[in-house]
Structure 1
Amino acid sequence: MFEWISQHKDVLSVFTSIGTLIIWLVYAQLLYLGFRRQRRPRIIINRGKRKDIDALCIISNMSAESIFVEYIIAELETSRGTITMDVTDFEQEYEEGDEEGEGEPEERRERRTLNPGRVDENTRQGPLESGDFLHIGSFSDVIKRLARDEGIEMVGYRPAGDLKFYRLTIRLITIYGPEDMPVGAERGFNLEDNDHSYALIPATWDTQRLASRRQRRQLRKMVQRFNATNFSSASSFRCIDNDE
């Protein structure tokens, strides 16, 4: 055995070096994937408490670090165009039981506040720690606010006349940790008319992350435009006279 090893020591040395290199490459890949996972923002937009249009719009920060919420944009697609509004500044109140966490220890529920460290409780702009959440009211409240801003007459949850609502998209623009470029997240919810209200169905199974270089450049330009124009709302909605 030792004689065979002595005769083939050069070949064995090569294979040993190759094996060691492969092990180090795998180890380095695992370290890189772990580092990348830690640096990747993870924001979830979901329904809370209910599953219909009265559900709360829950925003959760599942990233490894805190995020700074800069803008929350709501976009309503209708049969006559799209209505877009900045809903960052919007009255919100947290009531015990708004999220499924009644069984948690009291100190844990207290830490899961909606406005941690914020002076003005009328705005959602501000830091959101890792593992924390906030809600922006119910989806029906957001829709009614968009309709009211555009002068759309509502009958309950539905618009009057032949106007149809198709989809509500919630889009976030945030700053993640120490990074300079903004990151975003968005999720659309289809609105299916059931004659007396709207069923709320997520368009995708998960929240879409807006974190590629191209998307982050677009978000930065969007923030610059919002700041320069004092953006509050925009619309491609087409009003139709009754005579038409």
Structure 2
Amino acid sequence: MLDWISQHQKLLSLIINLGTLLIWLVYAQLLYLGFRRQRRPRLIINRGKKKDINALCIISNMSAESVFIEYIIATLDTSRGQIVMDVTDFEQQYSDDDDLGSNEEENRKSRRVLNDSSVRENTRQGPLGSGDFLHIGTFNDLIARMARDEGIEIEHHRPKGDLTLDRLTIRLVGIYGPEDMPIGAERSFTLSDNGVYCSLVPESWDTKRMASMRQRRELRKQIQRFNSTNFSASSSFQAQQQDEEKPSDTQ
């Protein structure tokens, strides 16, 4: 046995060295995968409590670090065009130009309470910790808010007339940990009205990640555009609706 080992010493040394190299390569691969997993942002958009249009829109952060949610953009596709709205902030039920009237002191106190309340009660912008989640209301509330902004009358979860709602897309734009470039996540839901209720079906089994360099550069340009224009909403719906109404006006 010893003679065989001495005769094949070089071959055995080569095998041992290759085995050691293979072990180190596997170990390095595991370290790389662990590091990549730690640095990989993961946001999930899903339904909660229910499966129809009255379900809660839940946002979960499954990343290893916190994600600062900067924008939540909702896009509603209809048979007459598209409506895009920034739904990061909650709708305010008051105006600075409201008439205080006889209850001036009481209204001032209520506004002072609102102004002194935490930011979390007025906006969804802010850090979302690892493993945390938040909801941005029901999908029906989001649709009703966007329809109201465009003057669309909604009755029993559906618009009046021949207008149909086709798709609702939720896009998140945020900053992951100490990184400078923004990240994004997006998920679309198909809306189907059978006359009795409106179903809400995800178009994909998972939330689409927007974390490649090209996508992150596009998100950065989008943030710069939002900040420079003070973006709140945009729409192609109104223009298409006016085009459809022109022939009837000339008859």
Q: TM-score, normalised by structure 1?
A: 0.87
- Contact in 2 for aligned 1:43/1:63 (Cα 8 Å): yes
**CA offset at residue 241 of structure 1?**
2.6
Larger Rg: 2
Matches within 5 A, 1:139-154: 139-154=139-154
Distance in 2, matches of 1:162 and 1:26, equals 61
Q: TM-score, normalised by structure 2?
A: 0.84
Distance in 2, matches of 1:14 and 1:34, equals 30
RMSD over aligned CA atoms reads: 1.7
Distance in 1, matches of 2:4 and 2:188, equals 67
Structure 2 residue 226 is matched with structure 1 residue 226: yes
Stretch deviating more after TM superposition (193-202 or 53-62): 193-202
Distance in 1, matches of 2:215 and 2:119, equals 31
4+ residue runs over 6 A deviation: none
The C-alpha deviation readout for 1:201-228, integer Å capped at 9, x for no partner, is 0111111111011100000000000000
SS of 2:245's equivalent in the other structure is coil
Aligned to 2:122: 122
- For residue 245 of structure 2, the aligned residue among 238, 241, 244 is 241
SS of 1:241's equivalent in the other structure is helix
SS of 1:23's equivalent in the other structure is helix
**CA offset at residue 196 of structure 1?**
3.3
Structure 2 residue 190 is matched with structure 1 residue 168: no
**CA offset at residue 90 of structure 1?**
1.4
The letter of the residue matching 1:134 is L
Distance in 1, matches of 2:152 and 2:53, equals 18
Structure 2 residue 140 is matched with structure 1 residue 136: no
- Contact in 2 for aligned 1:53/1:199 (Cα 8 Å): yes
- In the alignment, structure 1 segments of 5+ residues that lack a partner are 93-116
Aligned to 1:193: 193
**CA offset at residue 120 of structure 1?**
4.9
SS of 1:173's equivalent in the other structure is strand
Aligned-residue sequence identity (percent) comes to: 70
Distance in 2, matches of 1:223 and 1:33, equals 31
- Contact in 2 for aligned 1:61/1:131 (Cα 8 Å): yes
Distance in 1, matches of 2:19 and 2:119, equals 58
**CA offset at residue 235 of structure 1?**
1.1
**CA offset at residue 14 of structure 1?**
1.0
The letter of the residue matching 1:227 is N
Structure 2 residue 41 is matched with structure 1 residue 41: yes
SS of 2:172's equivalent in the other structure is strand
The letter of the residue matching 1:16 is I
The C-alpha deviation readout for 1:46-97, integer Å capped at 9, x for no partner, is 00111110000000111111110000000011111111000001159xxxxx
Distance in 2, matches of 1:120 and 1:40, equals 26
Aligned to 1:112: none
The C-alpha deviation readout for 1:79-126, integer Å capped at 9, x for no partner, is 11111000001159xxxxxxxxxxxxxxxxxxxxxxxx9535111001
The letter of the residue matching 1:60 is S
SS of 1:77's equivalent in the other structure is strand
Q: Which structure's residues are more often helix, by fraction? A: 2
Aligned to 1:85: 85
Distance in 2, matches of 1:75 and 1:195, equals 23
SS of 1:47's equivalent in the other structure is strand
The C-alpha deviation readout for 1:10-38, integer Å capped at 9, x for no partner, is 11111111111111001100110011001
The letter of the residue matching 2:73 is I
Aligned residues: 220
